[in-house]
């Protein structure tokens, strides 16, 4: 079973359902970033690639990573299935619906690839990889309840199928199980990293909630939010891989930085896609953030570049009072974003963080894993095409 | 500021707001258990004590425990305030509303008293005590969202004040922070105990959800649910105290058993009180479980003892379809429970677990802490009077 990564797909929150991760990475690859960034093609869909060679190179490199990790990822999948099990049938049913159905396993890939790059791996790395996926899954379950999302990975969200109550409690279960896995590694330093990341993630989610419907959210505040809610777990996943391979000091910090920048880029792309995708090819509804009054960088950019008081008033109204939105508001927002090149600016910010992520790898061992981790950076941005 | 423990009060889910725990334990004590258990006095309220000497003894012993622990509990309160803090103001506001406003701190008391009994204590015991209170608080926040509760500790629930979303996310934050505290102790064995307890609690909550509106829930299934959702944290709290004091093996197991039996007794009393209390003196609405179709031991007992097919049909209807309930249904349920002595049977089961809890203390060091822990057992049941 393969996962089709179409142009404008939104794997951050809406990876297409699919089987094993190896399959996920070998599906059709997106077109180039420039296609998405340059105004009119924002909703063009796949194809129309210009930058074909770069795309092809990224695709091959990510395929290499997937095949390098194939055995590890299968082991992690087995571990995930084993540890989400319970005599309480609702738990594996609901968790399996979310986890087993697919997703890219990006965070476990980080843990595993970093560990392997430093010559590590083995049982503890597998457990940590499963643990970070559990933390991520728990967050997704709670996010969907909080956001009242209807779609994820192209299907109804778990809370729409089983109800909010079940999603809240099964999320708690997965979160607790993630700590069970970490404890089994016996490493207090890894526990420290992941426990801190977990509270930062929750803090980020609360920050985001507090910022909802506040049209005045600044770029700085937005970056704090995505740094906490998304990048903290990427950073911790990569750092856990370094720790699992016995690294510390500069190498550990470099990997944390790599994960953090990658995570920031990932979320920036995700937020750009929320205005650039099309429902037909996305696993979530386009404009979800807009309809929730979630102020993301495309909005901040368009609002800051607004030409008239009337445009200012538009952003103020649609963000602070989403219930006032009418049918024409989303297209108008998209048009204003095109004019102000807001999506392009957001993706440019993402590329800056990709560059920073890549630069963190320079002192790492020069092996196939490192090249694959560099390729992963490209993949994160290229999926926006 | 003192907490008034009135007859029929329901500290399990509805401790009166109040200040430090020392205060909580020195308020007026409840009347004797027998008053509650013997049919007509079920809703009698305070006073009418017969068993005055036992009550007086329990009161004095618990006061001793509170004063023995006064310094530790103040330190734990400071730690709790420090660790629930965040630059995201909503977090300390919401968490403070729940935590700082009071509660009996029963679970931290277990950890601290057990540690002291074995000659332990100090920084790690304080951190573990704060950690178990955080786990408990996170569970309460999520419980109130799941149960759509309106009242806790005599006030509006946090989700009624700040909304479900905030309660879900701040609950996640407190849960993560509990692990931060545990990690700081550097003890993998304690982390193991508390991480396992956390997943068992979540499992218990899901079991309870799956059992909702299922009138056929058996006594065995009910005991599994309360064993997981309530007793697991009592057990882990006491066990953590033993571990913090360097105990292992038989002593550790005995303390776990003590906590577990105490927790089972506590929940049984709580479930009896849901049919025996009066809104005026309770921090929650009487009949909450009934209105939710939550099948607890009083219901199971009354249903099993039902005399006629019509009574069977009554229980079947009110539990499986709470929306069909009319005004007279709760009084009728209470009357059927009186006739079948269902509350009495539930409190008798609680007393059996109290006895078992006390028996776990026999090989513990014979000191003031042990006597205080034995007194805590009495307090748990006497609050039902």
CA distance B255 to A138: 32
Of A131, A130, A111, which is closest to residue A121 (Cα–Cα)?
A111
Residues B69-88 have a mean pLDDT of 95
Asked if B166 and A206 come within 8 Å (Cβ–Cβ), the reply is yes
CA distance A69 to A113: 7
Asked if B192 and A183 come within 8 Å (Cβ–Cβ), the reply is yes
pLDDT at A6: 34
pLDDT at A285: 62
pLDDT at B16 > cutoff 70: no
Does B264 fall in a domain?
A: yes
Asked if B91 and A203 come within 8 Å (Cβ–Cβ), the reply is yes
Residues B227-251 have a mean pLDDT of 97
Q: Residue B156's beta-bridge partner residues?
A: B151
pLDDT at A49 > cutoff 50: no
Report CA-CA distances (Å) from B33 to B212, B232, B279, B335.
29, 25, 19, 19
pLDDT at B50: 45
Q: Does B206 touch chain A (CB under 8 A)?
A: yes
Residues B327-343 have a mean pLDDT of 94
Does B12 fall in a domain?
A: no
Tell me which DSSP letter residue A231 carries. I
Q: Does A145 touch chain B (CB under 8 A)?
A: yes
Does A279 fall in a domain?
A: yes
pLDDT at B174: 97
**Residue with the larger pLDDT of the pair A177 and B25:** A177
Does B267 fall in a domain?
A: yes
Specify whether the CB–CB gap between A240 and A130 falls below 8 A. Answer: no
pLDDT at B37 > cutoff 50: no
Q: How many domains does chain B divide into?
A: 1
CATH number of the domain residue A40 falls in: 1.10.600.10
Alpha carbons within 13 angstroms on the beta-carbon side of residue A113 total: 33
pLDDT at A306: 83
Share of chain B above pLDDT 90, in %: 69
Give the helix ranges, DSSP H, for B212-304.
219-226, 232-244, 249-276, 288-292, 297-304
Q: Does A189 touch chain B (CB under 8 A)?
A: no
A84-134 pLDDT tens trace:
999 999 999 999 998 866 677 899 999 999 999 999 999 999 999 999 999
A206-259 pLDDT tens trace:
999 999 999 999 999 999 999 999 999 999 999 999 999 999 999 999 999 999
Specify whether the CB–CB gap between B82 and B158 falls below 8 A. Answer: no
Does A375 fall in a domain?
A: yes
Report CA-CA distances (Å) from A305 to A96, A243, A269.
44, 44, 20
Q: Residue A328's beta-bridge partner residues?
A: none
Q: How many residues does chain A have?
A: 385
Q: Token pair for residue A266?
A: 């990932």
Residues B125-133 have a mean pLDDT of 98
Asked if B168 and A142 come within 8 Å (Cβ–Cβ), the reply is yes
Tell me which DSSP letter residue A367 carries. S
CB atoms inside a 10 Å sphere around CB B220: 9
Residues A178-192 have a mean pLDDT of 97
A258-287 pLDDT tens trace:
999 999 999 999 999 999 843 334 445 688
pLDDT at A9: 35
Specify whether the CB–CB gap between A191 and A182 falls below 8 A. Answer: yes
Mean pLDDT, chain B, rounded, equals: 84
pLDDT at A288: 87
pLDDT at A318 > cutoff 80: yes
Q: Please report which confidence band the pLDDT of residue A300 belongs to, taking 50, 70 and 90 as the band edges.
A: very high
Nearest CA in chain B to A148: B165
Q: Token pair for residue A201?
A: 């993630």
A65-85 pLDDT tens trace:
888 999 999 999 999 999 999
Choose, out of A134, A179, A184, A211, the residue to mutate when testing the contact with B (most B CBs < 10 Å): A179
Tell me which DSSP letter residue A102 carries. B
Mean pLDDT, chain A, rounded, equals: 84
Taking only residues 209 to 228 of chain B, the set having a beta carbon closer than 8 angstroms to any beta carbon of chain A reads: 209-210
Alpha-carbon dihedral B93, B98, B101, B106, rounded to 10 degrees = -140
pLDDT at B47: 36
Give the helix ranges, DSSP H, for B277-341.
288-292, 297-304, 309-320, 329-339
pLDDT at A220: 97
Q: Please report which confidence band the pLDDT of residue A8 belongs to, taking 50, 70 and 90 as the band edges.
A: very low
Using CB atoms within 10 Å of the CB of residue A239, give its burial: 0 to 12 exposed, 13 to 18 middle, 19+ buried.
buried
pLDDT at B32: 33
Q: Does A43 touch chain B (CB under 8 A)?
A: no
Q: Does B189 touch chain A (CB under 8 A)?
A: no
Q: Does B203 touch chain A (CB under 8 A)?
A: yes
Q: Please report which confidence band the pLDDT of residue B111 belongs to, taking 50, 70 and 90 as the band edges.
A: very high
Structural domain boundaries, residue A367? 11-293+330-382
Chain B: closest CA distance from residue A117 (Å): 27
Does A302 fall in a domain?
A: no
Does B60 fall in a domain?
A: no
Residues B257-277 have a mean pLDDT of 92
Q: Residue B102's beta-bridge partner residues?
A: B17
Does B205 fall in a domain?
A: yes
**Residue with the larger pLDDT of the pair B152 and B129:** B129
Residues of B in contact with A232 (CB under 8 A): none
B113-117, B222-226, B306-310, B358-362 — which is least confidently predicted? B306-310
Specify whether the CB–CB gap between A17 and A365 falls below 8 A. Answer: no
Residues of A in contact with B176 (CB under 8 A): 195, 198-199, 201-202
pLDDT at B329 > cutoff 80: yes
Evaluated on CA atoms B190, B192, B194, B197, the torsion sign reads negative
pLDDT at A53: 72
Choose, out of B89, B158, B165, the residue to mutate when testing the contact with A (most A CBs < 10 Å): B165
């Amino acid at each position: 079973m393969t996962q089709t990564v179409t142009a404008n797909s939104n794997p951050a929150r809406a990876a297409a359902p699919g089987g094993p991760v190896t399959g996920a990475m070998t599906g059709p690859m997106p077109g180039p970033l420039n296609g998405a960034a340059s105004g009119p093609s924002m909703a063009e869909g796949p194809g129309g690639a210009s930058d074909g060679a770069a795309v092809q190179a990224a695709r091959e490199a990510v395929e290499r990573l997937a095949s390098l990790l194939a055995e590890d990822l299968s082991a992690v999948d087995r571990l995930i299935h084993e540890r989400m099990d319970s005599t309480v049938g609702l738990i594996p049913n609901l968790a399996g619906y979310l986890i087993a159905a697919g997703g890219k396993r990006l965070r476990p890939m980080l843990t595993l690839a970093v560990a392997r790059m430093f010559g590590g791996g083995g049982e503890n790395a597998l457990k940590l990889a499963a643990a970070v996926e559990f933390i991520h899954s728990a967050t997704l379950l709670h996010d969907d309840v909080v956001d009242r999302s209807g779609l994820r990975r192209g299907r109804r969200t778990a809370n729409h199928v089983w109800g909010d109550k079940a999603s809240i409690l099964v999320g708690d279960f997965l979160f607790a199980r993630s700590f069970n896995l970490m404890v089994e590694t016996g490493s207090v330093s890894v526990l420290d990293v992941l426990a801190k990341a977990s509270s930062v993630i929750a803090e980020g989610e609360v920050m985001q909630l507090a910022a909802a419907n506040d049209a005045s959210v600044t770029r700085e505040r937005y970056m704090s939010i995505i740094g906490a809610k998304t990048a903290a777990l990427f950073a911790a996943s990569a750092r856990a891989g370094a720790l699992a391979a016995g690294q510390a000091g500069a190498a550990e910090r470099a990997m944390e930085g790599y994960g953090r920048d990658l995570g920031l880029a990932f979320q920036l792309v995700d937020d750009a896609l929320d205005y650039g995708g099309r429902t037909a090819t996305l696993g979530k509804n386009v404009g979800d953030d807009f309809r929730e009054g979630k102020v993301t960088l495309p909005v901040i950019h368009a609002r800051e570049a607004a030409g008239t008081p009337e445009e200012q008033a538009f952003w103020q109204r649609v963000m602070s009072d989403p219930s006032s939105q009418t049918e024409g508001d989303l297209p108008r927002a998209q048009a204003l974003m095109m004019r102000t090149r807001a999506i392009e600016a957001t993706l440019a910010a993402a590329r800056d963080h990709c560059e920073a992520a890549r630069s963190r790898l320079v002192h790492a061992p020069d092996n196939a894993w490192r090249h694959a981790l560099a390729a992963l950076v490209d993949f994160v941005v290229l999926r926006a095409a």
